Amino acid sequence: MFFHPSTILFIFFLLFSLTMMISLNSWFLIWFFIEMNLLSFIPLILVKKNKYCVESSLKYFFIQTLSSILILVGLVLMFMDMGIYEFFFIGGLSIKLGFAPFHQWVVNVVEGLSWPLVGLLLTIQKVGPFILLGYLYAMKENLSYVIYALSLVSSFFGCVGGLFTSSLRKILVFSSISHASWMILGLISSIYLWGLYFIFYIMILFSVMSILNFYNLSNLNHMFLKLSFFSSLILGVSVLSMGGMPPMTGFVSKFIVMKEFIVLYNFFILIFLLTSVFISLFFYSRVFMFNFIFLVNKNLFLSSDKKKLGYPLFVNISGFVLIPFIMGVL
């Protein structure tokens, strides 16, 4: 990707606006830094000057503007002491986070982004809205039913949406929506529980994306042509870890959230989310299964850089050590 010197400046403003967004106690200033965050991300999309990046930047701008308007309307209603302001806040933040049923814009935007920007959109860009949602829940704890509804709908769309696409970017988006349903539950339980889950999610997501970026993969068919057996094995371990299959690293965060909700007796939500995880594992397995089944001679001469692919393997098999340790601590 072409590197422009101004990229450093926009990344700085992006991180600065994110830090100010979660540090201030004025909703108006929070809205101001939300807008700064929006205007800092769009130039990063446009670093690669092609029609797909321009299309993605326009879609991102319009949908983020809509969510900012909802937050601003909620801010005005809060100053007018009208009780419905929290629904405007939740609507605006849900659009920014890409929760179902407001997720379709993310699916369309990622197709025009490079892999590093997809990672930025699915991780760093979600930190501020998630923490603001936690602040809102702390102000109005009677919103728990709305939060539970968002979690259930996101888990449903996250597991079903990935079944009908072969684009790896879209698969990661639906994976992000599925993980968001678990993050919401962690958020209303404790900000530290959400932070722990989010850190694990970032580690696993970037372990998968490092392989996809290294081989420049964008479709399921590309893996059959470009990946050797060793690379397919590492990618398979990584995506199963992302799906939450025990005893890999991705299961650790889900295990901690499950323990918390078993204590709170929220069995219906827990069973629904676990069912969605089982469905998700089906389309995760597609990412590497065909490469193993149809492994032919042309794969055998494909070279793999084991040093560069060591990080994803190490991250995703760490669960073999972490799960017994966490079970002993908890």
Count CB-CB contacts under 10 A for residue 279.
18
Residues 6+ apart with CB under 8 A from 6: 43
SS3 assignment, position 114: coil
pLDDT of res. 101: 86
297 — pLDDT class (breaks 50, 70, 90)? very low
Average pLDDT over residues 244-271: 82
Token pair listed for 233:
């094995």
Residue 3's pLDDT is: 60
**Is residue 312, in this structure, part of any structural domain at all?**
yes
In a domain, 1, yes or no: no
For residue 228, tell me if it sits in a domain: yes
What is the average per-residue pLDDT within 201-210? 90
Question: What's the domain range around 84?
Answer: 6-329
C-alpha 232/C-alpha 225 separation (Å) is: 11
**Total of domains in the chain:** 1
pLDDT of 301? 46
Point out the least confidently predicted range of 126-135, 228-237, 266-275: 228-237
Residue 218: is its pLDDT beyond 50?
A: yes
Dihedral, CA of residue 130, residue 165, residue 44 and residue 242, to nearest 10? 50
Predicted local distance difference test score (pLDDT) of residue 1: 46
Mean pLDDT, residues 233-239 taken together: 82
- Long-range CB contacts (within 8 A, 24+) of 140-143: 140/86, 143/86, 143/90
The 8-class DSSP code of residue 167 comes to B
Residue located via tokens 């420049």: 216
∠ CA 308-312-317 to the nearest 5 degrees? 135
DSSP 262: H
DSSP per-residue codes, 44-110: HHTTS-SHHHHHHHHHHHHHHHHHHHHHHHHHHHHHTT-TTHHHHHHHHHHHHHT-TTS-HHHHHHG
Residue 275's H or E segment, with its range, is helix 267-293
- Within 13 Å and on the Cβ side, how many CA atoms surround 138? 9
- Helix, coil or strand: residue 219: strand
The mean pLDDT value for 106-112 works out to: 90
